Structure formats: structure tokens, C-alpha cells
Amino acid sequence: MSTRLSLLCVHGVGHAEIDAEFRKSWSEAIIRAVQSVDQSLNPAIDFLSYDDLFDKSPPNLVTYGIALAKLLASATVHGIGDLLAGTRGLDDVPTLIRWTAGMVAQWSVDEQLQAALRGAVLDKLKSGNYDVVLAHSLGSLICYDTFVRNPAAIRDKVFVTFGSQIGNPAVRDIFAGRIQDLPCRKWYHLFNREDRVLTYPLEIAADNFQQVLTPFDVPNDLLNHNATWYLSRPETVATVWHDVVPVPASRSIVSAARGIARIDTRPTRRALLIGINDYPKPADRLEGCVNDVFLMSSVLQESGFKPDEIRVVLNERATAQGIMERLHWLLEGVRDGDQRMLFYSGHGAQIPRYNPSGAPDSVDECLVPYDFDWTPERAILDRQFCQLYSQLPYDCYFVAMLDCCHSGGMTRDGGPRIRGLTPPDDIRHRALRWEASEGMWVPREFPPLNESLSKSKNGADYLGDNGATERLGRSMALRTQPDKEYNKTRAELGHHGPYLPILLEACQEQELSYEYRDGVTSYGAYTFCMAKVLREQRDRGANPSFQELSELVTAKLRRLKYNQTPNLVGAKKRVSAKIPWGAADAGRGQRRAPKKRAAKTGRKKRR
């Protein structure tokens, strides 16, 4: 039995110039896919064209250039979708950029163009009763911008985005760092890792959102951005088309699957614990990091975590790839009320970063994996980490406890060494300049990453003392707008910006984190004091807030004469709340009182 199905298609970048026959190829691909589910169905397919609106709005070259640079930087820095990879000659580069990143950049900086495009989408939706909106590439940005500001327009429809830049950090920054769920019946986000037009995966913690991996590599296609391949992939047929085609049997299967997914809605817990002692370079090796991991695992299990909710990775297995793979496990599928804990014990560092023109202009704070070599590919930077945590639901708990420090070990001639893991001389040179008048090397003064934020009360907590450091766990890649514009956009869109974890850090930015020898056994001084305080509080039946916990650990370190001041970063509401895995869940009485050990006998810097 044939049933009605109406679809609105919104094309992507530069279609009129790249593929004049795109309507025909899209229609054929859609009909084939739909009829693979129901042979009798002949869908009604309509298209929205908008290239003329771009032609009527020539970009401001200054703002356009800045936006284009940010987008091209995101194509390479974040390791996904190198726009120019494989380009055979320079002649095709300007045209390629103009009709790919160029159109995205033009849209991103022109508010009048954005308004005109939103109007075009709304007018088109009013002209027909569409069941599905299919939006490719730039079309997905235009549609999302329309629907997040006019949610009624997509209500009860299916929204499909593919070849989309919505998750790109340079684009998310336009939306104040967060992509929100929509009141549609279902939102499918199709992602192909081989797509080279600034595309990104997207995670949204909502029952009506699903990301679908659609891998393909079109022969002799530089961009792998082909809409018809996205629409025709078997993964798309098995999800999107089996959902939207109104066949009772497939609807029943989908409904049953959704019902099963909703059976267990209890908050879940996961913890990832990382410890690295045995760095390849002997001078960099530590003693207490693996012990820290086992200590924190025991404390978490006393606090209610089950053994199978905790994963550890140690020493040579804690490579950059190994840590990132486990971070995906830690932060995947998080829902409201869930609890996630990341613990890291090892070295931290700061790496001067090159801008797209090849000049150092800022600093990346990072965790130091086993295979660290002072390159972004062998470091845990916030730019990769941010992709995993920034879209988490606001009502979950993600706590990151970092027993390390990040002071760059850069030196001044005749002066003291700044504390931290000592970089090779070529890395150190990036952050120095020659001061001819003094005849000395001095630190470069990098421009602030966000001038208004750097001047605020908490600016150093987010951007470092130099205002140019992208610190871990702060989502600064998604917050480049001036504070006034950022807050205005958040208010307009009704959200709080990117999710920020609660950060428990062993020391302030320019301090060192020390190791402590408990008799003959080494631990991080911060970790050992943290475990002591948690157990002391639990034995009293108390459950402190994160703020109280940090203050108690700080006081204990002070009493033990350690010159390190723990740092707590997080939303005021969260850090003043009770620890979610505190005394209420503890198996108090199951733990024996620890035996007294010998007094502290020595310290070793944890850089």
C-alpha cells in the first residue's frame, strides 16, 4: 500500500557551480533508497535553493578573511577533514576554497545573510507539508540556525544532516560553543570521516538524536563530500530510510528498539584512571603514578563505583592514541545524572602553537602520554578532549582530577628556570625572542586568545597568566567571541555555553606538583592527601562539597609544608554541591583502618 512521504532537500556548498544536475542525482538516490524499503512508495521531493542570496551579499573582506582562516585552521589542527589534502595543483585551490570553506566563512560572519537564509527556509516550510528535511553541508548550518531559533518549524519532522560542519569548532563558536537538541521527531547526523569539507562528528545527549557513521571513499574524488553517496549508503538505509518510510513493520521494529533503550534510565558511572611512571627518557621517569591509580581505584570503589565501571591504563599502554580511545569510552553515551571521573597522574606540559601562517602565537596546555614527543599528535590537548566533553548534558557530573603541573620549562639566560617538563631547545625557541637592547632571550608576548575574558576576574584560570594559553578542560576553542557577544548569543539561544568539567588540579599554573614517599612507597602528594581527606570525611559520615574538599586537601598539604596550592575550576553551582559519589554511597565499615606508616622522607618534582 502506497503512503505519502514528502521531503525537502537543502543543498550544500556551491552546487550551482559544482553540479548543475544535483536535483536529478539527489532525487534518483532518494527514490532508490526509499523503494528499497517500500517498492510502492513514490516520495514527493522538493528543493530549496539559496545561492542567489550569497551573490547579493558580498562579504566584508576583513571579517571574511578572519573567519576563513579559523575554518581552514580547524580543518588541519583538529585532525579531521584536511580541506586541501591531495590537491594536485595550486590553480584549483582558490576556486576550491571559495565554494567550500569560503561559503561557510561568508555565512558565519554576515548576520544579514543569516537572517535572509532563515527567512528563506521558513517560507519554504510554510509552502508545503514536509515530513523530512534533508540538509547537506552548508545547508545543514542554515537549517540548524533556523530551527534553533524557530523550533516550531521542525517540530514532529525528521531532520537529516550530512556532510555537515555543525560540529566544527569554528562553527560551534558562532553558536556560543554548544549545539542543542531540537524538538524534531528524530535528528540523524550522517558522518563520513573521509569527507574533507570541514565536517565533524557531533554528539548530542538527546533520545531523538542519532549519529550514523557512513564511511565511503569516492574514487577520484578529492573532497568525498558527495551528497548522493551519503543518501545511498546501507547505513543510511538501515536507519534513516527504515525510519521515515511509513511501513508498519519497520515502524514497529523502531518503536520496540526505542522502548528497550528506555528501560534502564538509572544514572551510570564510569571512571578512567591513567598513571605513567616509566617514560622512555630516564630523566622524566616518576615513581608514584601507578600507585596513585590503584589508590584512587580503591577510594572510588569504597565510594560506590563497581570494579567493572573503572578502567585503568598504565605506562607504555598510555600512549596518546590509547588515552584518547579510552576517553571515548569514558564519555560516550552520557545522559543527565550520569557520573564520570577522569584521573591522571603523570607529567603535564605546555607546547607553543603555530598559527595558520606558521608563526607561534599561543600555548597549548597538555597531558604527557607515554609516547609524547612535543608535537600535537603525541599529546593530549584540550582541542581533541573538548570534542568529547563540551556537548555533555548539563545535569551530568564529569570530574577531572589531574595530579600534574603544566609549567613550561623555558629558561632565561642568567635567570631561574620556569618550572615544568623541560622542552627541547627547538621547542623552547618558539616561545622566546631576542631582546637586542638587553642582549638576552626573553619570553614572547603572545596576543590574548580572548582579550575580554583574559581581562576578567577569572581570566587566568581559563587562559593562563599570559592570556594566550589554551588550558585543559576550559573549552576555549569554542569561546573566541568577546564576552559581550558570547553572553548575548547564549541568552538568545537559551543555553549556558559548552559543558565544563569540574577540574581538581594538583597546583596552580606556575607551581609544581610533588611526589610523596609514604615510607618506601611513592605517591603524588596531592593524590595521597585527597585519598586521606575523602576517607577521613567518610569515616565521620560527612560528604563535603567539591569546594570544601579542595580546601581540606589544601590545608593538609600546607600542614605538610608542600609549596603547592590545589586549583578548583567549575561552575559555582556545581563546586558548591555535595560530591555525587560521596558518603551516601560508601561502603564504610568494609575498609580496614590504614596502618600508620613512616613519616614523609623525600620529595620528587612531578613536572
pLDDT in tens, 400-410: 999 999 864 43
The three cell numbers locating residue 67: 573567519
Q: Indicate the helix (H) or strand (E) that contains 314.
A: strand 310-314
- What is the C-alpha separation between 302 and 536, in angstroms, rounded? 12
Please calculate the CA angle 218-224-230 and round it to the nearest 5 degrees: 85
Cross-strand pairs, 339: 269, 397
pLDDT at 263 over 50: no
Domain boundaries, the chain: 6-261, 269-606
Q: What is the pLDDT of residues 297-332, one digit of tens each?
A: 999 999 999 999 999 999 999 999 999 999 999 999
In this prediction, residue 61 carries a pLDDT of: 58
44 beta partners: 6
Tell me whether the CATH fold assigned to 6-261 matches the one assigned to 269-606. yes
- pTM: predicted TM-score of the whole model, two decimal places: 0.86
CA distance linking residue 565 with residue 551, whole number of Å: 10
Give the integer Cα–Cα distance in Å for 460 and 407: 14
Contact 579, 552 (CB under 8 A): no
Could you give the C-alpha distances from 232 to 11, 185, 214, 229, in angstroms and in order?
Answer: 16, 22, 10, 5
Q: Per DSSP, what are the bridge partners of residue 18?
A: none
The string of pLDDT tens digits covering residues 181-193 is 999 999 999 999 9
Band the pLDDT of 107: cuts 50, 70, 90. confident
Q: Which of 385, 406, 350, 407 is nearest to 501 (CA)?
A: 385
Residues 508-563 pLDDT 10s: 988 888 889 999 999 999 999 999 999 999 999 999 999 999 999 999 999 999 98
* Count of other CB atoms within 10 angstroms of residue 252: 10
Q: How many CA atoms lie within 13 A of 183 on its CB side?
A: 10
Residue 55, classed as helix, strand or coil, is: helix
List the one residue out of 598, 579, 25 whose CA is nearest residue 305: 579
User: For 6-261, CATH number?
Assistant: 3.40.50
Helix 101-109 and helix 138-149, axial crossing angle in degrees, nearest 10: 20
List all residues 6 or more positions away from 552 whose beta carbon is below 8 Å from its beta carbon: 533, 537, 544
Grid cell digits, residue 325: 580511545
Q: What is the largest CA-CA distance in the chain?
A: 86
The rounded percent of the chain whose pLDDT value lies above 90 is 64
- What CATH number labels 269-606? 3.40.50.1460
Parallel, antiparallel, or unpaired: how do β-strands 380-381 and 310-314 relate? unpaired
- In 3D, which of 186, 123, 140, 192 has the Cα closest to residue 10? 140
DSSP string for 330-358: HHTT--TT-EEEEEEES-EEEEEEE-TTS
Burial category of 161 from C-beta neighbours within 10 Å (exposed 0-12, middle 13-18, buried 19 and up): buried
Q: Determine the Cα–Cα distance for residues 511 and 590; give it in Å rounded to an integer.
A: 37
